[in-house]
Structure formats: C-alpha cells, structure tokens
Structure 1
Amino acid sequence: MPDGRASTRDYMKHTGAVGVLALDEQGRVLLVRQYRHPVRHRLWEMPAGLLDVPGENPLHAAQRELWEEAHHKAGDWRVLIDVYPTSGGSDEAIRVFLARDLAEADGEKFAAEGEELDMEVRRFPLDDVVRAALAGDLHNGALVAGAMALKAALADGALDTLRPADAPWPARPF
C-alpha cells in the first residue's frame, strides 16, 4: 500500500484499449452497435479496441479501429480523455481520441468476423448521445465519459487546446 502496509488484492491485468469519438462537421458522432456477450445486450459504442499488439502506438491502434469497425479515416486527431474504467478490479486504461475531418476510407472494407459481423454503424448528434447517456439508455463507460468530455470541451471552446494525439500516456507508456 502507499503508506507501507501490506495488503492482498486480486485484480485483472489488462492490455489497455483505445476508443475513437469521431465527430463530423454536423456535430454528429459516429457510433457502432454490436452484441456484447458478458452483458447479453447489443450496445452502442464508439469504435474501439484492445492494445493487444505489443508496443503498438495507441494512435495507430485508434486509426486501425476506426478503419476496421467503421471504414473511416480522420485528418485531425487529439487526445480527448484517459480513463481507468474499473480501477478497483482491473488495471485497464482506456485512451479516448477525438477524431475530426472524417472521410470514408479508401479501398476494401475490413473483413469482419465473430461479433463484428453484424455491426451497425450510424451517426448521432452529440446532444442526443449525451441525453441518452443521462437517461440511462447508453451503458458503455468509455462512450459516456468521451461524450461528456467532448460536450465540456465544446462548451469551453477548447477543442483546439486538447492534448496532441501523441501526448504521453503514463498508464500505458509506448
């Protein structure tokens, strides 16, 4: 423990993950809907994925996930928020990127498999996403944290002062 006392604690080791809150010129965010077996529901989420390639740069992982899950690319990337979603039981860290200047990706789409086969992709106004989160209709923690952070950054006029996409990430140094 920080004060020198000994304690025993079980927790889950996690590789970490990235998420992409992709914002278009109309103020809509691009979300994906897929089945999540642990909670037995189809959830709306942002494109996201594990950092399961040793040494992979988080920005490159985020760019890959946006392409794989939504067949999109972005011209402007910033760090929106870093979160520990379950700090009492896991060392999982998630970096949520803000992606702007969206365009459909070139070339063929990623060959989906498993739970990604029937993934739905849609854009929603950010205000609708925030309202749905507050109403209890959205349950993905990274999406809720990212949407609230984006709403706050927009209200403060702070999008261009967000951290650069390659900002240090002490939770997952790369």
Structure 2
Amino acid sequence: MIDFTNLEYLKEGTPRQKDAYSILNELNIFENLEPYSPILAGTIPINIDLPDSDLDIICYVSELNIFYQLIIYRYGQNDQFNIRSKIIDNIETVIANFNYKDFSIEIFGQNIPTTQQNAYKHMMAEYMILNEKGEEFRQQVLYLKSTGYKTEPAFAKLLDLEGDPYLSLLQIHDSQIDI
C-alpha cells in the first residue's frame, strides 16, 4: 500500500509522477503548506492521469483567511493564477489554480482533515479498485477518460454502479466493500 501522505513514492513512479515530484519540490509546495497536512490527490498519484490532468493538492485549513493570503503570497505570481472562496457541500472552501511549466496546479483547502476529504476518499477507493481489477481495468478507465468521461463516472460505468458516481465511490471507500 502506497503512503500517499509522503511524496517519496513519486520518485520511483511513472515519468509523469517523477515530473510532478520535481515540480512540487521546485515550488516548495509541501514545505510551504506543511502546517496544513497537504496531500497530492487525484489521478496522477494512482496513474490514471491524462496529459492535461492537474496536480490536486488538498489541505486541512482551520483559518481560511490566513490560508487564502498565504496562497496569494506564495503562488500568486504564477501564470493563470486564480483564487476563490466558495461553499462546497456546506463547507467553506478555498481553491487556487495556476500553471507552472507543464502542469496545472490546484490547491484546495477545507476545515476537514485531508484524509477525510472527498478527494482523498475518491482516490483511495479508486486505488483499491485498480489494485483489485488490474491493468486491463486501468486501461479501460484511461480510455473512457480520453473520450470525455470524468474519473468517477468512468469508474461507475465500468463497475455498473447506479446513481451518483461521486457518492458511490465515497460509499465504496467508507464501507471498504469488495467490488
């Protein structure tokens, strides 16, 4: 089982994972955001990314205003920088996006421990499913994504899950049921 809370796994990964590791270190993102328990979530850590997939960094933030200002200070000079606050599932959230070299980066902060945030739960459910289903399944996910499917709907289609694919994957994570 990969420890996704430690970026070291990226150094031995795919070429894109190695590039992600370099970029995150160049920007000192994990050092700068260390008080916020950052985790790289999404598709790159579990090798189901497409060339335009972004680096999704989730953070546990209790003081959103301070976090908001820190993100502007540290990353506001980057290309296409944008930051906003919004309510997601009744939770105040800060989302910043910017481009750096060949990557789009999203920094996401909520007052929820990172390992309890939906992005992490989705990734862990997908990681568990990929480990169980194997390389052919991973290739099918990548194919669906290349035709326009988002990640969670691609999993739901391949697994014949009913209803909201995002909620279905959260249920899989929370129940740790076998697929």
TM-score range, shorter chain: under 0.3
| Higher relative contact order (Cα pairs below 8 Å, separated by 6+ residues) | 1
Q: What TM-score do you get using the length of structure 2 for normalisation?
A: 0.25
Tell me which protein shows more helix as a share of its residues: 2
Q: What TM-score do you get using the length of structure 1 for normalisation?
A: 0.25
Tell me which protein shows more strand as a share of its residues: 1
